[in-house]
Structure 1
């Protein structure tokens, strides 16, 4: 369904994504891991056409997305929804209106200016919020919600687009472990129940193993690992992150039990 052919993005003399070639042949949940600066976010931004490719191409269902222009790009961005680390909500706007903004690509300019939404869209937005467990917050300002709740609003906004692909760029990087789990549970459930393809940039190995069907490791813009979660050993992770032999997965963990175990071990060592 989705194919990358030597997809490359350069900024001056720096190559952020270097000749990436991949095929994802069916809807699955794919984790993209690597240290900061590995090229993960740039790869997703090229997929969503927020950034043009320097060379190479990627196709979806036989269509070359890198060749799209103007209105066709906006149509593609409806099919390929993006979720960001910092939520990108309108803070002073109520939650349901933020969710309804997922329909902007298919609404007229006049309707957008006056914030006019069809009743069916409003009901659908509330249904999606209910599905994500936050419908009781529909009338609240987005800024009044916790970080985990705001990220679920962002997911709801993406679902309003009814996309074929959801791109999640570090969706749990700014969340505490409990909210990180809630958000990842929601994304996994959406994949399983809706059959949507999800590509999710992650820093944490335990999260990638727990939630993803396939894991892609990037280092210095290149794909250096492509396999199943079971194949993501500590040794492989050390190569992906360019770490030394004393590399510890605890440093990247969001699992509460792992963090508690590590904390107890440190306390015992100190005593």
Structure 2
């Protein structure tokens, strides 16, 4: 499906991604891990064409997506939805309209300016919100929602595009542990139920092991690990992060300690209870 062939991105004197090569041959959930500055975000942004590559090829279903321009580039971006760490919602606009913004490449700017959407689009947006457990928030302004709810709105906006690939750039970095797990379970369910490829930049090893079928580790722009989560040993982690034997992944854990969990973090309706159930 997706093939990276010696893909490089250079910014001035700095190489952000250095001859990255890998293949994703079927729909799966892939986690990309590494320290800050390892090149994870640049890698994702090149797939979505938010950043151009300096060299190499990125093939999707046999087509090189790097030379695409104009309408062809926009069509590709509609198939390749992006979810950001800071949600990138319009704060003062209601939730359902934010979800409908996922159709901008198809419906045009006029629909956004005048908030004129076909009834079937509105119904579909609400159905997606219902699937993600936040349909009751549809009429609220996005800024009124919690961080975890806002990230689910961003996921709903991505699903509105009906993409083949979902890219998530540090989707849980701004969230508390409970909401982080809700978001990761949501992405995992989307992969399993819809058969979509999900590629997520992550900074916690336990998250990559728990939710991903495959993990790619980057260090200083290079891929230094590519394998199943079971192979992500402490030694492999030290290689990815360039750390010594005193390296402990516990400091980056997103696991929830029930004894220390604040009462406010327990409130996220029946959706949270269902997703977090063992």
**Fold in common (TM above 0.5):** yes
Correspondence 1:16-55 to 2 at 5 A = 16-55=16-55
Shift in CA distance, 258/34, structure 1 to aligned 2, threshold 3 Å: farther
Aligned mates of 2:258, 2:220 — CA distance in 1 = 29
Shift in CA distance, 181/13, structure 1 to aligned 2, threshold 3 Å: same
Q: In the alignment, does 2:164 pair up with 1:164? A: yes
Question: Which residue is 2:152 aligned to?
Answer: 152
Correspondence 1:237-256 to 2 at 5 A = 237-256=237-256
Aligned mates of 1:168, 1:54 — CA distance in 2 = 22
CA shift at 1:259, angstroms? Answer: 9.8
Q: Which runs of 4+ in 1 moved over 4 A?
A: none
Question: Which residue is 1:269 aligned to?
Answer: none
Aligned mates of 1:6, 1:144 — CA distance in 2 = 44
Output one character per residue of 1:17-73: Cα deviation in whole Å (capped at 9) or x when no partner: 000000000000000000000000000000000011000010000110011011111
Question: Which residue is 1:142 aligned to?
Answer: 142
* Structure 2 portions without partners, runs of 5+: 261-278
Over aligned residues, Cα RMSD in angstroms? 1.2
**Are 1:253 and 1:259, in contact at CA under 8 Å, matched by a contact in 2?**
no
**Are 1:9 and 1:55, in contact at CA under 8 Å, matched by a contact in 2?**
yes
Aligned mates of 1:259, 1:223 — CA distance in 2 = 38
Output one character per residue of 1:124-150: Cα deviation in whole Å (capped at 9) or x when no partner: 000000000000000000000000000
Question: Which residue is 2:101 aligned to?
Answer: 101
Question: Which residue is 2:75 aligned to?
Answer: 75
Output one character per residue of 1:187-221: Cα deviation in whole Å (capped at 9) or x when no partner: 00000000000000000000000000000000000
Aligned mates of 1:258, 1:52 — CA distance in 2 = 44
Tell me which moved more, 249-258 or 174-183.
249-258
Question: Which residue is 1:267 aligned to?
Answer: none
Question: Which residue is 1:58 aligned to?
Answer: 58
Aligned mates of 2:140, 2:98 — CA distance in 1 = 11
Aligned mates of 2:142, 2:102 — CA distance in 1 = 15
Question: Which residue is 1:125 aligned to?
Answer: 125
Question: Which residue is 2:265 aligned to?
Answer: none
**SS class of match (2:85):** coil
Question: Which residue is 1:205 aligned to?
Answer: 205
Question: Which residue is 1:9 aligned to?
Answer: 9
TM-score (norm 1): 0.94
Aligned mates of 2:54, 2:220 — CA distance in 1 = 16
CA shift at 1:258, angstroms? Answer: 9.8
Shift in CA distance, 47/246, structure 1 to aligned 2, threshold 3 Å: same
CA shift at 1:115, angstroms? Answer: 1.8
